Amino acid sequence: MDPTLLAVLLLLPLFFLLVKRIKLISISRKINLLPSPPRIPLIGNLHQISLLPHQSLFELSKKHGPLMLLQLGSIPTLVVSSPSYAREIMRTHDLVFASRPSLKASRILLYNNNDVAFASYGDYWRQIRKICVTNLLCLKQVQFFSHVRQEEVSLMIEKIARIASTSNGVVCMSEILNSLTCNVLCNSIFGSSMTEERRKILCGLIRKNTVFFVQLFVEDYFPRLRWLDVLFGTEGKLRRHSQKWDALLGEFIEEHVRRLKEGENTSSSEFIDVMLQLTNDTGTAFVLTNEQIKAILLDMIAGGTDTSFAVLDWSMVELIRNPLVMKKVQDEVRGIAHGEVKVGEEHLGKLSFLKAVIMEVLRLHPPVPLLLPRESLQDCQIQEYSIPKETRVLINAWAIGRDEVYWKEPHEFKPERFLSGDVNYKGNDFHYIPFGSGRRICPGMQFAISTIELALANLLHCFDWKLPSGISCEGISMEDSTGITTTRREKLDLVPLAIHIT
């Protein structure tokens, strides 16, 4: 071989390495202008992130400010903890920050980020988000699924009444509420193919999902060290978990494909059938593969169940700890649904204090405390700081909901603060962002709130509530569980006392 050509071939990799190095140095120079906690060589700030990252990041932000840069392994991560910077990211520069980073858990569980929540910003994301909104999550569809909510809430009330009349009357509310939110969502998605056995498997899988999203995978922070995940067995665990999802979703799909072929459900409005119609060449411009359908289904189920459950669970906890608020909200519900056995959806519009209670729970206990991570698509200037392309961004909604500048007595449970109606959760008030904001705002907001309001109203209408004997309010743990979605760590046991409607 020509020696010059040989030399060029040998030097080429070195040249690329050099260019990459120079690029990295210039990125870190630019980004280093941001406040940042001291780092340890190699791991950077990873050691400062606890299993409850929203809480450890809140503590760090008190020292280093509302916009700080952490170096998580090799990944520069911007942490936002104030409404004004949240506005910069999700309003002023929404397009720049409209993408998501690709995480190991999302790649393996969500079929290479083919779901809505982790899809990169672009046409595919836009199309599938539209399909989900049009067929499941928009106001019209949420109203259409009203019968599912009413039926599931009635079944829940009957179940509680049954347990309450037997044994010691203690009901594990966490289990009841978890089943409720899972049933409402899964019945809307899968219709009659949702059996009790499948529901149990699903609930177990959902909880594990959320933990995998905050588990430390070495590859997420040091992309070249993936082999360590294989060596430690963490990748194997994730893959086995993903196979369980795959098998279950495959069963649902097969069953619905068979039904569609046999001509059943041809006019079905079950979400899964709508998506299956997009797999065949039925003249639609946009076609989905089986894996893409599975990713989207998983997204809806996992994203929608735990979050709504967390709000209901925290609501019952906060109300039992605040008897005056409990009385006030029960008086409101019973006053509006006076003489009725159940609260119907037609009553909900008048329950302004109940709505305020739910808003306050979302402020103090946002189920997705760091929203979902974002990633910048290009270089961008945030006030005096230059943020390079591909910076990861975490927005601490949990910290923002406790910002003393915006919230008086931020740690107190005071639903009255929402009664004026000045603030809502639609992403325009940046000091209150439990559903996020901008292009990537949660599309399931309406679906979730409808279930939460109906369930909570009926729980408060049909029963009085007390703690099991031997447990005091002070003994109730207020600890969060770990996960991308946080719920309360401990299960909630309560004693319901049935009210006889006259």
Please report, as ranges, the residues that interact with ligand HEM according to CB under 6 A: 116-117, 129, 137, 185, 299-300, 303-304, 307-308, 311, 367-368, 371-372, 434-437, 440-444, 447-448
What does the DSSP assignment read for 426-488?
SSS-TT--TT--GGGS-TTHHHHHHHHHHHHHHHHHHEEEEPPTT--GGGS--PBPPSSS--B
Q: Which two tokens stand for residue 292?
A: 């893409």
Closest contact distance (angstroms) between CB of 448 and ligand HEM is 3
CB of 76 or CB of 101, closer to ligand HEM: 101
Q: Residue 75 or residue 448: which is nearer to ligand HEM going by CB? A: 448
Kindly state the smallest distance separating residue 461's Cβ from ligand HEM, in Å: 21
Residue type, 398: W
Question: How near is the Cβ of 54 to ligand HEM at its closest, in Å?
Answer: 12
Least separation in angstroms between residue 139's CB and ligand HEM is 13
Q: Closest separation between CB of residue 84 and ligand HEM, Å? A: 16
Q: Are strands 385-387 and 380-382 parallel, antiparallel or unpaired?
A: antiparallel
**Amino acid, single-letter form, for residue 88:** E
Nearer to ligand HEM among residue 302 and residue 337 (C-beta): 302
Q: Is there a contact between 342 and 459 (Cβ–Cβ < 8 Å)?
A: no
What are 287's two structure tokens?
Answer: 């076609």
Query: What does the H/E/C string look like for 413-424?
Result: CCHHHHCCCCCC
3-state secondary structure of 235: helix
Closest separation in Å from C-beta 167 to ligand HEM: 32
Neighbours of 493 (CB within 10 A): 15
Which residue ranges make up the annotated binding site?
A: 442
Nearer to ligand HEM, 164 or 205 (CB): 205
Nearer Cβ to ligand HEM, position 113 or 322?
113
Helix (H) or strand (E) holding 302: helix 290-321
Q: Binding site residues for heme, as ranges?
A: 442
Torsion angle (degrees, nearest 10) of CA 280, 283, 285, 286 = -20
Coil vs helix vs strand at 494: strand
Toward ligand HEM, which CB reaches closer, 367 or 388?
A: 367
